[in-house]
Amino acid sequence: MDSKLMAATAAAMVASGKGLLAADESSATVAKRFAGVNVENTEANRRTYRDLLFTTPGIGSHISGVILFDETIRQSSLAGKPFPALLESQGIIPGIKVDGGAKDYAGHPGEQVTEGLDGLRGRLAEYFKLGARFAKWRAVINVGRDIPSSGCIEANAHALARYSALCQEASIVPIIEPEVLIDGDHTIERCHEVSEAVLRATFQACYGQRVSAEHLILKASMVISGKSCATQAPEEQVADMTVECLKRAVPAALPGVVFLSGGQSDEKAAAHLSLMNSRHAGRLPWPLTFSYSRALHQAALKAWSGREGNVQAAQGVFAHRARMCSLASQGRYTAVEERTAG
């Protein structure tokens, strides 16, 4: 366990004005995204699209790290350079998704638990050799009638904690992602209640597994109204309630908190993050930044649509979205900036 390496990695991941690109979609998830722009889901097309993102000029100014999928960390760019080495040449830290996905939780209808702990120690050692310096594990928490149950929360918290301990043993910084899904008709108050309970249980489990908080990054979902809720909370309330929830449940010792976009629009994901940073500037124990997938590169995927002639334009779209997220992490995102390309 190299504490100095992990401390340096964690600090760089949440450096001022920078955040993470989540490019760790499984092949099945990529298939859905590609279908939306009429691109065939082949290994070659997945490689070409990731190459487009990773070779965008100057992207290291806004992106500190990229979460890769198992297939991607083993691939090389179109120019023949291994993707981890390509990212490093941009000043970007390679990371890796290591969980086995959320599966139905036996005896708990409507709930899921994430699998993938078996053999993880060996996989982490291999990923370290391939260049990964941080990892990610996602848990899924559904909100509905009588759920989440305490059993579901505890099972996922335990898995997140065991994964984190194995990562730190391998000198890899763990990102824990206990995602409270936006699906449903729950109110923002209900989301706050569930989010706080999930975070408290997760960090208690981490403490029990002797996970070092100083070498751990939280990937949090925002406290927000369910998509089907009749009353959608305003942006300021989302920002304030999210910060309140984090302050109640997240140890101050963490190097930083990154947010998932969770199905929000590109603009909403940026606006909410920016308001958290502007309204609570100077009163946060950790930096708050982004770890977005769709909210960072969905627009670029649409601009590309599998056509070689669209690569430069798509990279421009991606660079713009990265800049918007960077501004949001500094509390400086505005509608005017959104409309200003370049």
- Catalytic residue numbers read 177, 219
Contact between residue 206 and residue 160 where contact means Cβ atoms under 8 Å apart: yes
| Per-position pLDDT tens, the chain of length 342 | 899 999 999 999 999 999 999 998 888 888 889 998 888 999 999 999 999 999 999 999 999 999 999 999 999 999 999 999 999 999 999 999 999 999 999 999 999 999 999 999 999 999 999 999 999 999 999 999 899 999 999 999 999 999 999 999 999 999 999 999 999 899 999 999 999 999 999 999 999 999 999 999 999 999 999 988 989 999 999 999 999 999 999 999 999 999 999 888 899 999 999 999 999 989 999 999 999 998 899 999 999 998 989 999 999 999 999 999 999 999 999 888 887 755
**pLDDT given for residue 197 in this prediction:** 97
Which tokens go with 69? 């999928």
Domains and CATH numbers, the chain: 3-338 (3.20.20.70)
Distance CA 323, CA 329 (A): 10
Helices (H), the chain: 3-13, 27-35, 43-54, 70-73, 83-89, 120-130, 150-169, 188-208, 235-249, 266-279, 294-304, 311-329, 335-338
